């Protein structure tokens, strides 16, 4: 048994963690994984060569880099299946949180004429899709997992492209000013939801107290804060441009997440 430690530069949230987890679940040599989001590292207990594992991680585009490999005399304390079973209920809770905020932000975004809120709702949907894939992976065949990942990835990418097209349309025309209070209020509410999700996921790994640095470096939380800043700038400048700019950035974030989901469907 060997233990290899990877540094993953862009693993800034639980969503990226579960993307990595699903990718490595397809490797028969992997026996267990242990994640440290604060350090952006994952320990992988495995047998055989490290090269297939490194290659699988590189396809995700998260900046994975092997730090060290050492022989472990003790077997991995938990198997991948046991870990998945322990986290299944927790994933269901986090999935419900993200799905709920997707609907809340989507409705609020269209009502408030805010593309930043609409984009952030799709970011919530992207997280919900990843958690759904994690749940689906338990007891499912690898072929079925890849098919679902491909369908989810293209669906998410399509929504991101439509969102970007709508932003371009609004840039070209004279649109009504987004509602500042709705933007700030709903995004602050979503910020609480993301923080609770992060807390629950970290608590399951006995990594409490949760570090403030981990919260504010989470890509999901950064998106929420971006919408809040856009709302303030809309109020100060009396212009819709800040809302559209943040909308573009978050839509691009959603598109990047879609490509990562699609990478799960690759061999």
CA-based R_g, the chain, Å: 19
What per-residue string of b and e applies to 232-264 under the rule 16 or more CB within 10 Å gives b?
ebbbeeeebebbbbbbbbbbebbbebbebbbbb
Segment 100-120 shows an average pLDDT of 94
DSSP labels for 213-226? HHHHH-HHHHHHHH
Percent over 90 (pLDDT), the chain: 36
Q: Which CATH code, of 3.40.50.720, 3.40.309.10, 3.40.50.410, 3.30.70.100, is assigned to 2-80?
A: 3.30.70.100
Q: So what's the pLDDT on residue 217?
A: 45
pLDDT at 176 over 70: yes
Mean pLDDT of 198-225: 64
What pLDDT is stored for residue 12 in this prediction? 73
Q: How far apart are CA 9 and CA 222, in angstroms?
A: 16
3-state secondary structure of 77: coil
| Segment among 25-29, 38-42, 245-249 with least mean pLDDT | 25-29
Residue 178 has pLDDT above 60, yes or no: yes
- Which range is most confident: 70-84, 152-166, 225-239? 225-239
Q: Is the model's pLDDT at 24 over the cut of 90? A: no
Look at residue 235 and tell me whether its pLDDT is greater than 50: yes
pLDDT at 84: 55
What confidence tier does 209 reach under pLDDT thresholds 50, 70, 90?
very low
Distance CA 206, CA 170 (A): 46
Q: Which has more pLDDT, 265 or 182?
A: 182
Residue 208 has pLDDT above 90, yes or no: no
Question: Residue 5 pairs with which residues in a beta bridge?
Answer: 43, 68
Interval 120-142: pLDDT, tens = 999 898 888 888 877 776 656 66
Q: What percent of the chain has pLDDT over 70?
A: 84
Question: pTM, whole model, 2 decimals?
Answer: 0.73
Q: How do residues 49-105 score in pLDDT, each as one tens digit?
A: 899 899 989 988 888 999 999 887 665 555 454 445 666 788 788 889 999 999 999
- Between CA 64 and CA 7 the distance in angstroms is 6
Mean model confidence pLDDT for the chain:
82
Residue 257: closest CA among 8, 13, 5: 13
- Mean pLDDT of the region 180-193: 93
Instruction: Return the pLDDT at 134.
Output: 72
| Mean local confidence (pLDDT), 191-215 | 66
Ordered by start, the domain boundaries in the chain are: 2-80, 81-263
Q: What does the pLDDT read at residue 23? A: 85
């Amino acid at each position: 048994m060997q233990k290899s430690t990877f540094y993953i530069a862009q693993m800034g949230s639980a969503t990226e963690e579960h993307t990595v987890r699903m990718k490595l679940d397809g490797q028969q040599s992997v026996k267990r994984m242990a994640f440290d989001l604060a350090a952006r590292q994952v320990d992988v207990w495995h047998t055989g060569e490290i090269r297939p594992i490194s290659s699988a991680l590189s396809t995700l585009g998260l900046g994975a880099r092997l730090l060290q490999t050492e022989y472990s005399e003790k077997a991995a304390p938990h198997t991948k299946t046991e870990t998945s079973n322990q986290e299944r209920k927790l994933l269901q809770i986090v999935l419900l949180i993200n799905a709920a905020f997707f609907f809340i932000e989507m409705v609020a975004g269209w009502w408030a004429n805010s593309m930043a809120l609409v984009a952030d709702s799709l970011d919530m949907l992207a997280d919900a899709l990843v958690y759904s894939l994690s749940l689906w992976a338990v007891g499912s065949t690898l072929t079925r997992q890849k098919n679902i990942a491909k369908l989810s990835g293209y669906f998410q990418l399509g929504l991101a492209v439509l969102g970007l097209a709508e932003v371009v349309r609004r840039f070209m025309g004279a649109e009504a000013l987004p509602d500042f209070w709705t933007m700030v209020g709903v995004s602050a509410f979503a910020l609480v939801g993301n923080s609770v999700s992060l807390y629950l996921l970290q608590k399951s790994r006995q990594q409490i107290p949760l570090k403030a640095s981990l919260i504010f470096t989470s890509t999901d939380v950064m998106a929420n804060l971006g919408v809040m800043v856009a709302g303030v700038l809309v109020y100060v400048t009396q212009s819709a441009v800040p809302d559209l700019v943040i909308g573009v950035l978050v839509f691009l974030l959603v598109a990047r997440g879609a490509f990562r989901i699609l990478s799960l469907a690759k061999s």
